[in-house]
Structure formats: C-alpha cells, structure tokens
Amino acid sequence: MGNKAIVAGATGLVGKALVQELLQYNGYEKVIVLVRRALDLTHPRLEQHILSFDQIGSLPEEWFETADIYCTLGTTIKKAKSREQFAKVDYEYPLALGRKAVQCGSRQLLVITALGASERSLFFYSRVKGKLEHELARLQLPSVTIFQPSLIIGMREEHRRGEELAASMTRNLSFLFKGKLSRYKPIEGRTIAAAMLYSALEQRNGLTVVAGTNRMEQMANALWSEERHQ
C-alpha cells in the first residue's frame, strides 16, 4: 500500500463513508482530504485541506507522491445549475486529479463514474462519465480503477427528490433485481466506499472497471468479513 490516501469529494455520501473506512484501516500513515468545507471529524491520521478544486494543478507534489488517490466527486445538473458546471465537477476535476497523479508519481487512482457511462450515450450525464473514463484510460498511471455504480442510496445532507423517489420504488420492486439485473440494484454509499478500499488493497495493474451492484457488494463484504481494515 501507499503510505498516504487522498480523498477528493469527502463531504459527499460515498466520500464520508470512505474516509471512515480509511481511518479504520491502519495501513495508511496519513489520510488527506481535499474539501471545500471542513469535515466535522478529527483523527490523528486525518489531514484536511480546504480549497477550490480549480487549484488541483498547483497543489504540493509531495501530497501526491506514492499516494493512493480516491475520487468521489459528483453532482447533479440541477445542483450544478448548468451543463458546464456539471462537467467541471464530474469531468474536469477528476481528470485534473488523474493528471496530477501522473505528474507526481502517485501509486493508483480510484474513481466513481456511473453504470451505463459511454461517450456515445444519448444522455448527457452518461456521455460526460464516458468521456472521463476514456481520458483516464489514456493516463500513464500504474493502476486506474473505475467504479460504475447503479443508483446510490443513503443519508445525504441535501435532498435529491428524484433519487429518493427512485430508491423507494426500487426497494419495493427488489424482487426484480435478480440474476443479470442484480447489477442495477440500488447500492448504499458505504458499500461503494468499502469496495474502493478493497480494490486499493488488491491494486491491479492497468485499467480495471468494476461495474454494478453485485460485484461491489462482493468486494465490500470481503473487506468487512476479513477485517482487513482493522
């Protein structure tokens, strides 16, 4: 393992859960979080840096050297208020992190996109995610892992009415998510977080894509059952 973990997007649903997982795991000497507002959390190994993500390119190189970088950045067009701002958060910032990782010799990059991401998608959201995946795959990093979750559920600070409604409906129709459809089942943010740490511990060379709920649940359960983060 690298001796440092960097988390971008630590105030979000997955990001908060990920920080908790990383602090429970004793393999990192330092967990660095890049945030626009401070987390209500203190820990001897936690280091918080409040900044604008437009500053990624000018951040100190020593933060990134041999680090494992976790990117959980993401928003909605409604919250971003425009397609341009959405693309900045979901495409430009993660790609800037990837380029910084290459420049500084980071160990690996782990990023969340979305199930169905494709540059050829009819949907703007999925096209942006697909474009990000394409660009990340071209980076000369030892290891890039892309997580493609279905609908992410859990307690968020802000209310996303559409997501809450969809999550409620899919819970009532859970019997439909069997076999090949199990990958589309809604997934808890903490499950994605655990899957990301599990993947970092495995660190496969090159590009790895982890798609769908069932695979991430398997990885999370493996982490929790083995207590590798204790």
pTM of the model: 0.90
Instruction: To the nearest 10°, report the CA torsion of 67, 116, 167, 69.
Output: 0
Query: Top-level CATH class of 4-226?
Result: alpha beta
Indicate the pLDDT class of residue 15, thresholds 50, 70 and 90: very high
pLDDT, one tens digit per residue, over 89-101 is 999 999 999 999 9
Non-local (6+) Cβ contacts of 196 within 8 A are 18, 21, 70, 110, 112, 145, 147
Question: How far is residue 191's CA from residue 76's CA, in Å, rounded to a whole number?
Answer: 21
The more confidently predicted of residues 14 and 155 is 14
Specify the pLDDT at position 181: 73
